[in-house]
Structure 1
Amino acid sequence: MKNLNIALIQADLYWENSNQNLEHFAEKIAKINSKVDLFILPEMFSTGFSMNAEKLAEPPNGLTLKWMQRIANEKSAAITGSVIIEEDGKYFNRLYFVFPDSTYKVYDKHHTFTLAKENETYTAGKERLIVEYKGWKICPLICYDLRFPVWARNTVDYDLLIYVANWPKTRIQAWDILLQARAIENMTYCAGVNRTGLDGNNYEYTGHSAVYDSLGQAMFDHELETEFTKVISLDKDHLTESRDKLKFLQDRDKFTLD
């Protein structure tokens, strides 16, 4: 597939209220009239970035996953975002990538955010996920993963790098710079979807959701701080031409991820 149409949904979140958040996102998705192949939602989009996992965690096949499957099926599009999950007595900040036929892949956040003591509540994932969808290879990651370039290193020629996040206003400059850097160093499209508003701990979020091309060019005004939905068309030919012309990935260091 030459073009992949992705919808970034930047939204405020209702603190620890799954039903309200799912209704909120369903309303936003319903208003999108253009063709979308992939909807991208923020990190912990059904609850906000909460350490109250004992209260909020869902089973692996819980309410939010079923909602994502319904949306994917109704819209004939994939959808991704992360959710608080309990499995085998452990809690995970788990990203679901749900396909239009309701099948799905999962990625558990590898770098848990020690500043917020996420590491004391959630078990870190061990494996990176590469999704193949409509002829595109996609690497979805979560928030704090953005600070660690080795984990994102494009060793498999993926075409799109995604970060879903609850990234606070106090460090938003790092978000802007690192998203652009990940695109440039990996010669890939890089999309980041962040939330807005205040959470239950009184942390402020100002969005700045963005898409960069393989040369680090922003594809729209990426400093928007209010709720918005943006559909962006990614061009596979443009990506291939840039890689073939510049050949930067051919000179990358060889290593494996432990």
Structure 2
Amino acid sequence: MQENKEILSIALVQSDLHWENVTANLASFEEKLAALPEPVDVIVLPEMFNTGFTMNTTLAEPMNLTTTRWMKQMAKQHNALVVGSFAVNDGGRFFNRLLCVSPDGTHAHSDKRHLFRMGEENNHYTAGSSRLTIEWRGWKICPLVCYDLRFPVWSRNLQSEPYDILLYVANWPARRAHAWSTLLQARAIENQCYVMGVNRIGTDGGGLEYRGDSVALDYLGEPVAMLTNQEAEKVVHVSKAELIAYRQNFPALSDADDFEIHC
């Protein structure tokens, strides 16, 4: 049975990635997680953390092989929920799939809904058709992938499916850094929730540059932690009592429009 925690500790793991090299990336992240300064409840890795943002679907893994097993090992070792996305081959269809893996080895997943057509992601991967909200240690968490950030309807904190924390894992290029930071703030403010955005740094195999700017924001859109253009493992702590008190004192979500999403 999960322990309900008033204070949740979350590790944002911002890293450069070895282009299309699963072995090197998993080894690198294993070292970074070993260096965390304290025990945490949630570990958040970037989008396609095992390869970089590649359209090379020959690297897509079936579920429950190398990367899934590694995530299970890390979740058990750190007694934490491990969150990140990677390319998955599911019955001959390819997905940019986000996994949330628990210490007991169970996992839930959702597939990236909005595929980045400017990078031809829509020509190689299949879009997801459902959103995931999981409950972890008394908190409701909604994890999404990169380009999904630009679509507020998909990210909306619905009364039928509420959450406390909105997570985005990303490979968001430096040339659009202003949009990254602005949209993350907007999602926090409009959804009255904590928002975590974990991005990569470095240059990928296609020559795109990334500068990180991973961030943790509170329900006002104010920074709890902000990372710059360097590798870093930042642990942040968020308060359930403070979130509830703010929502009670300023219940804007009660006036939100009611709607359904049809995929």
Shorter-normalised TM range: over 0.9
CA–CA separation in structure 2 for the residues paired with 1:226 and 1:31 = 16
CA–CA separation in structure 1 for the residues paired with 2:67 and 2:18 = 14
TM-score (norm 2): 0.96
Mapping 1:54-73, distance limit 5 Å: 55-73=58-76
Structure 1 stretches of 4+ with a deviation exceeding 2 A read none
Amino acid at match of 1:137: K
**SS of the residue aligned with 1:238?**
helix
Amino acid at match of 2:176: R
CA drift of 1:33 comes to: 2.9
C-alpha RMSD of the superposition: 0.7
| 2:238 matches 1:234 | yes
- Per the alignment, residue 257 of structure 2 pairs with 253
**5+ residue gaps in structure 1?**
none
Amino acid at match of 2:141: I
CA–CA separation in structure 2 for the residues paired with 1:35 and 1:184 = 29
What percent identity do the matched residue pairs reach? Answer: 49
The match for 2:219 among 211, 214, 219 is 214
8 Å contact kept, 2:201–2:229: yes
- Per the alignment, residue 179 of structure 2 pairs with 174
- Per the alignment, residue 7 of structure 2 pairs with 3
1:70-127, Cα deviation, whole Å (9 max, x unpaired): 0001111110000110011100000000011110000100000000000000000000
**SS of the residue aligned with 2:54?**
coil
- Per the alignment, residue 83 of structure 1 pairs with 86
**5+ residue gaps in structure 2?**
none
TM-score (norm 1): 0.98
- Per the alignment, residue 145 of structure 1 pairs with 148
| 2:210 matches 1:205 | yes
CA–CA separation in structure 1 for the residues paired with 2:128 and 2:227 = 31
Mapping 1:87-106, distance limit 5 Å: 87-106=90-109
**SS of the residue aligned with 1:219?**
strand
1:115-174, Cα deviation, whole Å (9 max, x unpaired): 000000000000000011111000000000000000000002200000000000000100
Amino acid at match of 1:100: P
CA drift of 1:223 comes to: 5.0
CA drift of 1:257 comes to: 1.2
- Per the alignment, residue 190 of structure 1 pairs with 195
